[in-house]
Structure 1
Amino acid sequence: MTHIFVNIATTDLERAKAFYTSLGAGINPLFTDENAACIVWDDNVYFMVLTQEYFGTFTDKQLADPRTHAQVLIALSRDSREAVDAIVEAGVANGGTEPTEAKDYGFMYSRDLEDPDGNGIEFVFMEPQAAEQGPDSYLAEQGAGA
């Protein structure tokens, strides 16, 4: 089994913990201290939110400012379009921003959210049939029924 741990930096650990829990994520207290918080999305996906100082101990590279530089965009799936809308709306209500308009590709719906530090998260819903047969086949089938 593979687990994913995404390390992201924050300038305010308490603010970051409050933000991510407002989105429905949990916190694993066994891996949370004054330097880091383990944000639990599910049994396989975690964000390690690290203070900038602590994050810097893991690399010799200069840290990018997520407010001005994009280094990665993390995408997390949701079970429905409504769930995508709900989590982004919760994020905006709790200090995040939505930097772009919602995107509806017919087979996939997505919205972007930036946390208070500027880290980007994309929440997506893909029609299960499109995931199984591919977007082109799905869209062609949808057009054939119109």
Structure 2
Amino acid sequence: MIGGNGDRVLRLAARHADIISFSATAFDVHGRGMYILTERQMAERVALVDAELRHQGREGVQRNVIVLRAQVTDDRRAAIEDYFRFLRGTMSPAQIGSLPAVLIGSPEQIAEQLLARRNRFGFTYITVQEKSLDTFAKVIPMLT
């Protein structure tokens, strides 16, 4: 597994890795810190990998996404609003709800989000942070 977000590391991963891991964050080129990749930005990263895989004639490479937040809740809207405040308004609640590396909702809603992202980006592996393991365990039965 090789992963990251930059062009060089993703091209390297496309040439050599069995699993390519997509980081959901990047550093701002103007030095303003890190930011979370939007759906459009993740699509650009995936397209770069797809192009390199085609160029290399490689098939069957798996894809992983590193999840920044996995939150099981009965009130998705309120949880997204909480995350909006945590992010200090840098993204709208609608943008937060579509972030490829943020999973918020009931187990069923999160399973739907994961299936949609698998269809859109080809993610076959999901990495959640240790603090989210118990929460994410509630989602696993929905994926089988």
TM-score (structure 2 length as normaliser): 0.28
Larger radius of gyration: 1
Q: Tell me which of the two structures has the higher relative contact order, counting C-alpha pairs closer than 8 angstroms and 6 or more residues apart.
A: 2
Q: Which protein is richer in helix relative to its size?
A: 2
Q: Which protein is richer in strand relative to its size?
A: 1
